[in-house]
Amino acid sequence: MYLSYLILACTFFISYIHASPSQLQTRSDIEECLTTNNVPYAVQGSTNWTALSTPYNLRLVYVPAVITIPETPDDVSASVTCAAAAGLKVQAKGGGHSYASYSSGGQDGSLVIEMENFSSIEVDQTTFIAKVGAGQRLGNVAQAIYSQGQRALPHGTCPGVGIAGHALHGGYGYASRKWGLALDHIVALDVVLANGTQIHANSTSYPDIFYAMRGAGDSFGIATYFYLQTEAAPSSVLYVSASLASAVNDASLATSGFETLQNWTLTSPDLTANFTFNMYIDTSGTFTFTGWCMECDSTYFSSNVLPAMLAGFPAGTAAGASVQQVGWIDALTLVSNNDPLTEPLGSAYTYHDTFYAKSVVTREAQPLTSASMSSFFTYMISNRGQGPFFSIVDLYGGPGSAINVPSSDSSAYSDRDALWVFQNYGRTSNSEPPFDPAIIGLIDGLNDAITDPQPGGDFTAYLNYVDPDLNATTAAELYYGKETYDKLLGIKMDVDPSALFWNPQSIGNANASAV
């Protein structure tokens, strides 16, 4: 029996960087306006500026003109109207984990709204809808809703990720084949619009904004509170991990393992919605399988399910797997690699990485070809020791997956026919700058290794792994597709015609005709 494989760290502990104190700026129009409206804010030179302005991804450090720290929705409205009057672009900061540092504006000189003071988490005991402040993080949300009636949500594994950016742009985790994305659990949102108006958006009230926020929230408003339909937490979870290291040096062995796994995924009655899994492979030679099965029988799983799905890997792979039966909170802790579920909010959270990532979303109707799989593994093997970089291959589709149940026009998250989602992620070895730009080429090469052998693959990309190297047109194509993008453009023209809510890939930066 192996223990679980602690391969994917959520947090990389590095020393905190201190910028040299900058000079106090003269009071500008924006400060005048914020002061008049009693909005708490910081500018360069303020006490907590470094902590407030340092992004999670130290590869992309943008310097905001001002960071507001609103305490009420009125403070958010004033932040927005003051920015509009001063000609500044606006982005909200939730957990701050944007791969492109868009929550720092995605450029220098934006107004950033740090949402840390929107932190309440209350579960209505009749509807089991949780009202959650936009400054919260996944681990705190999970614990609070569990303590209020053993409720649960599908979401990512890392406790420090913010609920806001995560749920507005997808939100995948080990419960997602059963319950869908975090986004699919948003039943309503309190939103501050570009004109400062505060609205409650749901399927019947401001339905267009409700549609657009779910998938393109960064372009349409500032969500202050989320109303999330929770689920009853399962009584037990099987946490399954296996080493695939016996196939890591041989592309044909690895390909045969993946191909058998994909065939099993598409055809086996044992793949029920309560089972979600992934593979992880990196340039140090780690290759693992991790899965999570909710309310599953451990004996049947070990004797029937695992041997069939891992049958294409070298003999002994399934027998060497670890299958642990645990409760909900313990399962969340296991997948967080024993990082604490409780995380500080806002600028008190000081974890960082220095990285570049991109994704490949494959279609259920076009399973990966063995040529693609082989090219993928060959690339990983031939780049052993380079980077470092890793790839996580998550199963989104397969029979019964709740991710693919909503129609593609029910929200701006339109990718409802995904099979696998690859996250290709390169970083510095100690997580600190400087970043070697050659890593970008390695990650581009990894994407190409997957997609080039399958020209008809119709691959897309995952919104939450935002890739800053895509231009706005390509981003619009890969994240939304023409139909969704056209619809979003129309709504953007109505509610934010001057593109107040802006980042380099926000809605409106690409022409509809080009997408």
Ligand X SMILES: *[C@@H]1O[C@H](CO)[C@@H](O)[C@H](O)[C@H]1NC(C)=O
Ligand Y SMILES: Cc1cc2nc3c(=O)[nH]c(=O)nc-3n(C[C@H](O)[C@H](O)[C@H](O)COP(=O)(O)OP(=O)(O)OC[C@H]3O[C@@H](n4cnc5c(N)ncnc54)[C@H](O)[C@@H]3O)c2cc1C
Nearer Cβ to ligand Y (301/502): 502
91-114 burial: b if 16+ Cβ within 10 Å, else e: bbbbbbbbbbbbbbbbbeebbbbb
The item of ligand X, ligand Y, none sharing an interface with residue 345, based on CB under 5 to 8 Å by kind, is ligand X
Using CB under 6 A, which of 139, 171, 367, 387 touches ligand Y?
A: 171
Q: Does 170 bind ligand Y (CB under 6 A)?
A: yes
Question: How far is 66 from 83, CA to CA, in rounded Å?
Answer: 9
Q: Which of 7, 30, 134, 478 contacts ligand Y by CB under 6 A?
A: 134
Q: Which partner from the list ligand X, ligand Y, none does 28 bind, CB cut-off 5 to 8 Å by kind?
A: none
Distance CA 314, CA 162 (A): 39
Least Å distance between CB 375 and ligand Y?
A: 25
- Among ligand X, ligand Y, none, what does residue 157 contact (CB within 5–8 Å per kind)? ligand Y
Size of the site for ligand Y (CB under 6 A): 35
Q: Are 142 and 332 in contact (CB under 8 A)?
A: yes
Label residues 319-348 b or e (16+ Cβ within 10 Å = b).
Answer: eebbbbeeebbebbbbbbbebebebebbbe
Nearest distance from C-beta of residue 318 to ligand Y, angstroms: 25
Span 218-237, contacts to ligand Y by CB under 6 A: 218, 222-223
Q: Using the rule CB under 6 A, give the single segment among 93-101, 141-149, 250-258, 484-492 that binds ligand Y.
A: 93-101
Residue 257 touching ligand X (CB under 6 A): no
Per the CB < 8 A criterion, the answer to whether 426 and 469 are in contact is no
How many residues touch ligand X under the rule CB under 6 A: the total is: 40
| Residues 421-480, interacting with ligand Y (CB under 6 A) | 464
Query: Backbone dihedral region of 315: left (phi > 0), alpha (psi from -120 to 50 degrees) or beta?
Result: beta
**Maximal C-alpha separation, the chain:** 71
Contacts with ligand Y in 179-218 (CB under 6 A)?
Answer: 217-218
- Residue appearing with tokens 């399973």: 367
Contact range with ligand X by CB under 6 A, out of 95-103, 189-197, 212-220, 438-446: 189-197
Q: Locate tokens 């290291």: which residue?
A: 245
Residue number, 76 or 254, with CB nearest to ligand Y: 76
DSSP 171: -
Which of ligand X, ligand Y, none does residue 508 bind (CB under 5 to 8 Å by kind)?
none
Residue type, 156: G
Closest approach of Cβ 476 to ligand X, in Å?
9
Determine the Cα–Cα distance for residues 92 and 94; give it in Å rounded to an integer: 6
Binding mask 432-461 for ligand X (x = CB under 6 A): ------------------------------
Strands 111-114 and 90-93: parallel
Element (H, E) at 258: helix 251-267
Residues 108-127 that bind ligand X (CB under 6 A): 116-117
Among the residue ranges 54-62, 98-106, 291-299, 384-392, the one whose residues contact ligand X (CB under 6 A): 291-299
- Contact between 335 and ligand Y by CB under 6 A: the answer reads no
Of 26-34, 410-418, 442-450, 465-473, the window that binds ligand X (rule: CB under 6 A) is 465-473
Residues 6+ positions from 174 with CB-CB distance below 8 Å: 154, 157, 276, 291, 292, 331, 335
Q: What is the residue-wise DSSP string for 491-515?
A: HHHHH-TT--B--TTSTTSS-GGG-
The entry of ligand Y, ligand X, none near residue 197 (CB within 5 to 8 angstroms by kind) is ligand X
Residue 494 touches which of ligand Y, ligand X, none (Cβ within 5-8 Å per kind): ligand X
Angle between helices 73-86 and 29-36 (to 10 degrees): 150
Q: Find out whether 361 and 415 touch, Cβ atoms under 8 Å.
A: yes
Q: In 3D, which of 232, 259, 269 has the Cα closest to residue 400?
A: 269
State which of residues 150, 263, 302, 383 lies at the interface with ligand X (CB under 6 A). 263
Q: Of 42, 168, 209, 515, which one interacts with ligand Y (CB under 6 A)?
A: 168
What residue ranges bind ligand Y (CB under 6 A)? 10, 56, 91-99, 102-103, 115, 134, 156-158, 161-162, 164-166, 168-173, 217-218, 222-223, 464, 503
What residue ranges bind ligand X (CB under 6 A)? 47-48, 71, 116-117, 193, 195, 197, 200, 202-205, 256, 259-260, 263, 270, 272, 274-275, 293, 295-296, 300, 305, 312, 345-348, 471-474, 494-495, 510-511, 514
